[in-house]
Structure 1
Amino acid sequence: MQPPPDETRRDAAEDVQWSRPECQLWTGTLLLGTCLLYCARVSMPICAVSMSQDFGWNKKEAGLVLSSFFWGYCLTQVVGGHLGDRIGGEKVILLSASAWGFITAATPLLAHLGSAHLAFMTFSRILTGLLQGVYFPALTSLLSQKVRESERAFTYSTVGAGSQFGTLLTGAAGSLLLDWCGWQSVFYFSGGLTLLWVWYVYRCLLSEKDLLLALGVLAQGLRVTRHTKVPWRRLFWKSSVWAGSSTWCPGWWPFLLVCSAGFSLTVSSVRVTGPLPCGSSCSGISVNIQDLAPSCAGFLFGVANTAGALAGVVGVCLGGYLIETTGSWTSVFNLVAAISSLGLCTFLVFGKAQRVDLSPIHEDL
């Protein structure tokens, strides 16, 4: 008598999970990777004031450059999660990090290619957003497949803490670099560290054969046999999936609004210390998605994070309107608090941690 398909999938998943030493090594590495992700992400906001002075940007043009990151960031969430589920999250992370690290380090050169520096900077930020958009969905896919269920919350919250560390590190070190060496040094610093991290992961943690295989799969149009199908109809019929996704909607509004307004991150990074306890969501809502669908966690996380990023884009226009109308930031944060409370209530009523991807009948994505 053959075991049920669900039990077979569980046994296969346990065979590929990391041992404890491997998990500890990868946790530290991914913590640093997340830190560097945010170092590269906030380099432009830190340098916005100095660059505006050098290139003669007004506040509207500076806001255009800063907010353009999220135009690309919205578009690759689902793609990144789907790629992570199919070829391995660690490979997606490595390939994207190598690209965004190079673009970040090359930003000062792009800014001086010609007179159209505003167009070049906007394009580079969109491209950086596209590349960084795959990181967290691929990370979620990786941890859901490689980390034991009992350790996922701790591992994910530890890795997710890199976002706060990266913002604070770049806010502090970037301010010093701005004063000592100019705004170009901030991009060299964050981009160079990212490329060093990529080199370490490639040399010490990934085999060249696996990486070349992943590149071959991408070149052939993702014709692979592993994880080629996602039970998307089954997923979206579950109220727990919608409840988990709804909690992400207000997540990007404050950060995106600050960036689009053209503030220097030397100010906003100090204010980051206020909401640091909110990072506990990394051990709650983020891990819940892995509990719901470990076999396609990257795809599901991409959907949820897309909702959050799109809400952030809408928040720029709506927040700007509220500020002009009321003359105060209070109305913006009151709106975010109200939507967050609605998301909390929705999750408390409909949210669950029961797996929803165990049906043997999978529909094509």
Structure 2
Amino acid sequence: MSEGGQKKRWGMVFALFVAFVLCNLDKVNMSVAIVPMAESFGWTATQKGLVASAFFWGYSFTQIPGGWLASKYGGKSVLFWGVVLWSFGTLIAPWCAALGMPWLLASRFLVGLGEGVAPSAATGVLAKGVPPSQRSKAVTTAFGGLDVGSLTGLLIAPPIIFYLGGWAAVFYLFGVLGFIWGAWWFASFMNDSSTDMKEAPLAAGAKKGLSIPWAAFFRNPQFWALTVAHFTWNYFSYGLLAWLPSFLASAMGVTLSKSSFLSILPYLSTVIVTATIAPLAGKLEADKTLTRTQIRKGSQTLCFGVGAVMLTAIGLIVNATPVAAVTNQTIAIVIGLLSVTFGFAAFIRTGLFCGHQDLSPKYASIMLGVTNTAAAIASTLSTFFTGLFLSMTGGNWAYSLFFPIAVLQLVSVFVFLIWKSDPVDFDA
């Protein structure tokens, strides 16, 4: 490909990166805005959990259909309409909130529907537009937008709320940004095939009516290990994404702006560690210091094992420290433990998220759609049940948020011990 074609290709990858930044901006906005919204509308903890979980109802619904739509109509078109849909749901959220809870839940459901097609659509775009020699870099760059989106949202949402017209401004601004991205994508990439490679074997097979061996998936122990790990990952990651600002404000007694700033630090540790683990894992495998199976098992053990210990410690600290007794040292310890948790969570990139490709490159995207459906259900359960447990326990954050995640992580560590990275012929 010419130099101009390469620039076009990486411009497209950058556009995907921006799409995923917007993707998590529109998740995080509710995590921050829900604090003043709850005060304004008088919501209980259960109602807050309901609002936080509504996104994942839609997100769960479009995981597998998103892959089918992308294969039928092309990832570029599906991603465009997904971004437009979730941006529309974001934009109308303030008006829906004024109309009542059912309308607000419907708007968040629309956001989830739109975002649910994004992973499969972007994977289709990258598979068709990026050669294997550049795919690792492209995938890391594009999906890295998720972490940047979380960091950016937690950083800029509080100033927007305080200085640009209240909590509604977050939804208006982020919604408009999505439509701007859509116009850019439509004009520059959506109908441009200049970056596309020749038809990939998998894509060609799909057009001929690829028969998916569903029964073989569900009979395979490694597939179930991936499913359990993915379920646990989302229960952990989205539960904390949705509730961390509220936890810091409620249990640690910090202001909304300070709680959002402190929430950034754990995610920053994830970004930093992510930049180091991929080359480390590659070197260990290339030097034959560890086998691929050992790297996957070790990564998952570090990800969830360290997390379980750290979250248990946080729960014990919270239980032993009433809000009135919280000091700056207490806050520093909790944030430090959370940062260690999220730092080691980055090992998920060389564990779970490499597992689908290890088992079957042919069916990796389909298996990801299935395990991500289970993961999306976990996200719904985590956000909703945390609020429900808070109501049932009188606001006990240890038993509502931290201990349940720690138990799931320990179970997942032991389940993943059955993992083998040997390729599986699911068509046999």
Match of 2:137 among 137, 154, 157: 154
2:345 aligned partner, one-letter code: C
Corresponding residue for 1:133?
116
CA–CA distance in structure 1, aligned partners of residues 228 and 133 of structure 2? 25
CA–CA distance in structure 1, aligned partners of residues 52 and 69 of structure 2? 27
Aligned residue pairs total 326
Corresponding residue for 1:9?
none
Matched, 1:193 2:173: no
C-alpha contact (below 8 Å) 1:202/1:208 kept by paired residues = no
Corresponding residue for 1:60?
46
Query: Shift of the alpha carbon at 1:44?
Result: 1.7
CA–CA distance in structure 2, aligned partners of residues 326 and 186 of structure 1? 27
C-alpha contact (below 8 Å) 1:111/1:117 kept by paired residues = yes
> Where in structure 2 are there 5+ consecutive unaligned residues?
195-205, 247-255, 269-338
CA–CA distance in structure 2, aligned partners of residues 46 and 94 of structure 1? 26
Query: Shift of the alpha carbon at 1:38?
Result: 0.5
TM (normalized to structure 2)?
0.66
Give the 3-state SS of the residue equivalent to 2:190 in structure 1.
coil
Corresponding residue for 1:317?
385
**CA distance 1:147–1:242, shift in 2 (3 Å):** farther
TM (normalized to structure 1)?
0.76
CA–CA distance in structure 2, aligned partners of residues 63 and 95 of structure 1? 28
Corresponding residue for 1:298?
365
**CA distance 1:332–1:143, shift in 2 (3 Å):** same
Give the 3-state SS of the residue equivalent to 2:232 in structure 1.
coil
Give the 3-state SS of the residue equivalent to 2:423 in structure 1.
coil
Give the 3-state SS of the residue equivalent to 1:247 in structure 2.
helix
Query: Shift of the alpha carbon at 1:228?
Result: 5.1
Match of 1:122 among 100, 105, 113: 105
Query: Shift of the alpha carbon at 1:36?
Result: 0.5
Corresponding residue for 1:86?
72
Q: Normalized per residue, which structure has more helix?
A: 2
Return the structure number with greater relative CO, CA threshold 8 A, min gap 6: 1
Q: Deviations over 1:12-45 (max 9, x none)?
A: xxx9xxx754542332221111111011122122
Matched, 1:329 2:315: no
Match of 2:214 among 222, 232, 235: 232
2:57 aligned partner, one-letter code: W
> Where in structure 1 are there 5+ consecutive unaligned residues?
1-14, 211-223
CA–CA distance in structure 1, aligned partners of residues 104 and 415 of structure 2? 40
CA–CA distance in structure 2, aligned partners of residues 325 and 54 of structure 1? 21
1:252 aligned partner, one-letter code: N
CA–CA distance in structure 1, aligned partners of residues 42 and 404 of structure 2? 34
C-alpha contact (below 8 Å) 2:85/2:110 kept by paired residues = no
**CA distance 1:330–1:276, shift in 2 (3 Å):** farther
Root-mean-square deviation (CA, aligned residues, Å) is 3.4
CA–CA distance in structure 1, aligned partners of residues 191 and 177 of structure 2? 21
Match of 2:83 among 90, 97, 101: 97
C-alpha contact (below 8 Å) 1:81/1:300 kept by paired residues = no
**CA distance 1:328–1:175, shift in 2 (3 Å):** closer
**CA distance 1:298–1:95, shift in 2 (3 Å):** farther
Match of 1:33 among 19, 23, 29: 19
**CA distance 1:271–1:68, shift in 2 (3 Å):** same
Query: Shift of the alpha carbon at 1:121?
Result: 0.7
C-alpha contact (below 8 Å) 2:79/2:122 kept by paired residues = yes
Q: Deviations over 1:165-192 (max 9, x none)?
A: 1111111111111111121221122111
C-alpha contact (below 8 Å) 2:66/2:120 kept by paired residues = yes
C-alpha contact (below 8 Å) 2:17/2:141 kept by paired residues = yes
Corresponding residue for 1:171?
154
1:137 aligned partner, one-letter code: S
Query: Shift of the alpha carbon at 1:81?
Result: 2.1
Matched, 1:205 2:189: yes
Within 5 Å, which residues of 2 pair with 1:319-358?
321=389, 324=393, 327=396, 329=398, 332-352=401-421, 354=423, 356=425
Query: Shift of the alpha carbon at 1:72?
Result: 2.0
**CA distance 1:351–1:200, shift in 2 (3 Å):** farther
Matched, 1:272 2:256: no
CA–CA distance in structure 2, aligned partners of residues 250 and 61 of structure 1? 24
